Amino acid sequence: MIGLLAAACGGSPMEPRSPREVDVSPVAPLDPGSAVPASWTEGPIAQIYVRGYKDSNGDGIGDLNGVAQKLDYLQALGVTGVWLMPVTASQDHDHGYAVTDHRAIEAQYGTLDDFDALVAQAHAHGIAVVIDYVMNHSAAQNPLFVSSSATRTSPWRDWYVWSDSHPSGWTIYNSDPWPPSPTGYYFAGFWDQMPDFNLKSAAVVAYHHDSLRFWLNRGVDGFRFDATANLVENGPAAWENQPEDKVLMAAVRDLVGGYARRWIVCEAPPDPIGFAAACGSAFAFGHNADLINAARGNTAAIAAVARYFDTTPASVSTMLANHDSFAGDRVWNQLDGNVARYRLAAATYLLQPGVPFIYYGEEIGLAAGTGLTGDPALRTPMSWTGGGNAGFSTHAPFRALSENYARNNVAAEQSDPTSLLSFYKAIIALRKAHPSLARGNYQAAAASAQLLQFERRVAGETSLVAINYGDAAASARFAGLPPAAAVTAAYPPGAAALTTDGAGQLTIAAPALSVTVYTLAE
């Protein structure tokens, strides 16, 4: 059923009262198979804001072809996948979460053909493609909502959450989530221009399942789901993290799991562990702040980082920061440009369990946008060079450049073996070279003052990790290892080999502000 989205009185269909029709027809599963290694879900995965990554056509706006132009760079960085922030058609033409068509590409980013070409090229580089999917809400200009709001008897009315009178007692994020319209009050938890779908409706759920199949059938490898703890509201005191949310996401996980080597990750800050169980993975909100504070040398945060995976499943997705200001500023700004401590933060989450996500520009120390605040400051053009427009575009960019683009840029850091970019490449390569670091069990974690140590174990290999966040040298003591076993230095390069003593113990020197990794075969 295509286009029958603006109802006249009495329920008869008429032409859509919006610029574009929306396809709501059923989509049958047609799995094209998987073109990437099964290990891609081990990460790391690059999070890319397409608008801010690379402009290929000189209009000052990043696009899909621009991302394709940088696949060699991403492959050299060592990522196994890319998460593209919303690329679907949007009302906001910026962040993309106000979706006007869940099955169409944002015109400023290119076409469906461009998208298909990007997926094919990414797969040729061994890189999976994850796209953002917004199930919670649409844009107010989405033809579905336009039709739902046309009359109180619209056949599409039940696709959104409506009330004839203004509901009382509601406050979400310090705002009233029930904006008025000529035909009643609709629920919009985030913004009056992003009305919530009624996900208690089987028809709405079926539409989203069909839309997911639309992308899966094109070869997309997975999805990042937005706002999954906000899918269903049961009242003014029960609008977040409701049981139905996890049921909905478990059904989506089953659908996606019906395709080969597909994967999803959920955004659910109120309950990362609960949604990791329902979705398969969820972002480890809270842990990111501990990682940053540990890098600053905070002993309580170091202890929290050490304990985190004692009770958290290794399937969670980790990060230092992302596109939302509630998750923290750019890492460079949070750590005041201290490169030594920046390295420690990066090494910690790349060597611990979890699926690490690298927010674009993090690997070069991209700072917040000049003169910007809030979310826009975190979504500034990527710094490819120190020259005009930071190498992002031949045209004036859509937004101010990073504060430090002249110094912290890819061109400057690629040829510098001591750069932050070179460090990221080295730690990612280390992780990928050692199965114990990529997917091993997390054991014997301990924090002593400003020293963190832990073991990662998989059949046949153990990695011993010591991270010293302090300004003075320390020693990490490991026990329970095979007696008189040879232990090989994995990082930093060139460190001397060691041998465990007769009791299976080993002491590793940890210089100030350092990362040290040893491995032994078992």
Decide if pLDDT at 234 tops 70: yes
Strand partners, 467: 452, 515
Longest dimension (CA), the chain: 86
For residues 277 and 243, give the distance between their C-alpha atoms in angstroms, rounded to a whole number.
Answer: 13
Compute the average pLDDT of residues 330-345: 98
Query: Does residue 472 belong to any structural domain of this protein?
Result: yes
| Per-residue confidence band for 522, with pLDDT thresholds at 50, 70 and 90 | confident
C-beta separation of 281 from 265 below 8 A: yes
For residues 413 and 145, give the distance between their C-alpha atoms in angstroms, rounded to a whole number.
Answer: 47
Tokens at residue 290, please?
């501990």
pLDDT for 473 equals: 98
If residue 442 lies in a helix (H) or strand (E), which one and from where to where? strand 441-448
Query: Does residue 364 belong to any structural domain of this protein?
Result: no
| Cβ-based neighbour number of residue 124 at 10 Å | 12
Tokens at residue 321, please?
């920061």
Query: Does residue 331 belong to any structural domain of this protein?
Result: no
pLDDT for 471 equals: 97
Decide if pLDDT at 17 tops 90: no
pLDDT for 25 equals: 94
If residue 357 lies in a helix (H) or strand (E), which one and from where to where? strand 355-359
Decide if pLDDT at 19 tops 90: no
Place of tokens 């329920």: 11
Residue type, 322: N
pLDDT tens digits, one per residue of 152-179: 999 999 999 999 999 999 999 999 999 9
* CATH classification at residue 492: 2.60.40.1180
For residues 343 and 339, give the distance between their C-alpha atoms in angstroms, rounded to a whole number.
Answer: 6
| Per-residue confidence band for 7, with pLDDT thresholds at 50, 70 and 90 | very low
| Per-residue confidence band for 21, with pLDDT thresholds at 50, 70 and 90 | confident
For residues 490 and 197, give the distance between their C-alpha atoms in angstroms, rounded to a whole number.
Answer: 51
Compute the average pLDDT of residues 367-372: 98
pLDDT tens digits, one per residue of 51-96: 999 999 999 999 999 999 999 999 999 999 999 999 999 999 999 9
pTM: 0.95
pLDDT for 240 equals: 97
Q: Is 268 left (phi over 0), alpha (psi -120 to 50) or beta?
A: beta
Number of domains in the chain: 1
pLDDT tens digits, one per residue of 125-139: 999 999 999 999 999
Query: Does residue 273 belong to any structural domain of this protein?
Result: no
Among the listed residues 497, 485, 437, the one whose alpha carbon sits nearest the alpha carbon of residue 462: 437
Is residue 186 classed exposed, middle or buried when 0-12, 13-18 and 19+ CB atoms within 10 A define those classes? buried
Query: Does residue 275 belong to any structural domain of this protein?
Result: no
Query: Does residue 301 belong to any structural domain of this protein?
Result: no
Q: Tell me which long-range contacts 299-305 makes (C-beta under 8 A, separation of at least 24).
A: 299/447, 299/449, 299/450, 302/447, 302/450, 302/451, 302/452, 302/469, 303/447, 305/348, 305/352, 305/447, 305/452
Query: Does residue 171 belong to any structural domain of this protein?
Result: no
- 517 is in which domain, residue-wise? 438-521
pLDDT tens digits, one per residue of 399-458: 999 999 999 999 999 999 999 999 999 999 999 999 999 999 999 999 999 999 999 999
What integer best gives the mean pLDDT of the chain?
A: 95
CA dihedral 98, 100, 104, 106 (to 10 degrees): -50
pLDDT for 506 equals: 97
Decide if pLDDT at 489 tops 90: yes
